[in-house]
Amino acid sequence: MDDRSRMQINQAGWNQRAQAHLGSSYYDLDSFRAGESSLRPLEVATIGDVSGKDVLNLQCHIGVNAISWARQGANVTAVDFAESALEIGRGLAKDLDVNVNFVQANVYDLPGVLEGSFDVVYADQGTLYYLPDLSAWAKVIAHFLKPGGIFHIVEIHPILGAFDEVDGEMRLRTYPITNGPHEYVISDTYGDEYGDVQEIEPYTSYTWRWTIPDVMMALIQAGLQIESFTEEPVDCRQRFSSMVRDDEGKGLWRLPGDPLPMSWACSARKPA
């Protein structure tokens, strides 16, 4: 099986997940419809003021972050390969009277589907693991950035893949972690809290594990210049049962004592 076929299988799975996420505590669509932003402090701190800027949100899923950026005054184009996810995003945007251009495409095919260039290209949590080719992905980003434009990513820290939770304690895994593709059977999908999973029809999923240097090198080789990098001891959801809510950051969780970085953010600019 080639990587394109694996991505098509993932696409079908994310169509299924999108329907489950209509009632997910992670997305909390009732609060979102009432005016709450889906953006977390690390995303806002990394990306900053987007008012009046043309923003391209890659792998947007159901589009809540894209809509939140549009609420802050950005001109947003949001892309995903899952048709069901985009249908939900379009419906949310219409109900909220927010203008977002949703585009259905595999991220690698986007230059043949979408015209134009952007001040900001953006990707966030959980997107890298579904990319089989970082070099090609980075070239897509560079293609869509205006000269002087900037790419921002906020992601789950890859070090978390080196740990299991055993009886409420973090234990280092004793087997090697390889890049992939890794094949899993998915039978539930995530919520905000550890116990908020929702059962779904089982499907096969393929992922790839990338290090932070892998990502940075791909961006540099695509002609972008790294401007900033940060690691934070917070996560966007309760990934392990021992995690506790962050009192200072809405929608964030952390391990007691902050023993590990749990998220990271990077910004890279296309030379003017």
**Calpha distance 135→31 (Å, rounded):** 38
Q: Measured between alpha carbons, how far is residue 118 from residues 104, 142, 177, 203 in Å?
A: 18, 10, 36, 35
Say what the pLDDT of residue 216 is: 97
Q: What's the domain range around 238?
A: 3-269
Distance CA 29, CA 248 (A): 22
Tell me which amino acid residue 178 is: T
Closest C-alpha among 64, 52, 38 to residue 120: 52
Query: Is pLDDT of 175 > 80?
Result: no
- Inform me whether the pLDDT recorded for 169 exceeds 90: no
Contact 186, 200 (CB under 8 A): yes
Nearest Cα neighbor of 158 from 264, 240, 243, 61 is: 264
Q: Are 203 and 12 in contact (CB under 8 A)?
A: yes
DSSP for 102-144, written as a single string: EEE--GGGGGGT----EEEEEE-TT-GGG-S-HHHHHHHHHHH
Closest Cα partner for 236 from 251, 222, 226, 246? Answer: 251
Question: CB neighbours (10 Å) of residue 44?
Answer: 16
User: Residues of the chain with pLDDT > 90: what percent?
Assistant: 90
Query: What is d(CA 6, CA 202) in angstroms, rounded to the nearest whole number?
Result: 16
Q: 118: closest CA among 103, 96, 134, 133? A: 103
CATH number at residue 257: 3.40.50.150
What pTM was computed for the model? Answer: 0.95
* Residue 33 tokens, joined: 């419809």
pLDDT at 249 over 80: no
Query: Distance from CA of residue 120 to its chain's centroid?
Result: 15
Q: What is the pLDDT of residue 247?
A: 83
41-88 pLDDT tens trace: 999 999 999 999 999 999 999 999 999 999 999 999 999 999 999 999
- 3-class DSSP state of 220: helix
pLDDT tens-digit readout, 141-162:
999 999 999 999 999 999 998 9
How many residues are present in the chain? 272
Main-chain dihedrals φ then ψ at residue 192, nearest 5 degrees? -70, -50
Tokens encoding 231: 């690691």
**Alpha carbons 193 and 187: distance in angstroms, whole number:** 17
Count how many domains the chain has. 1
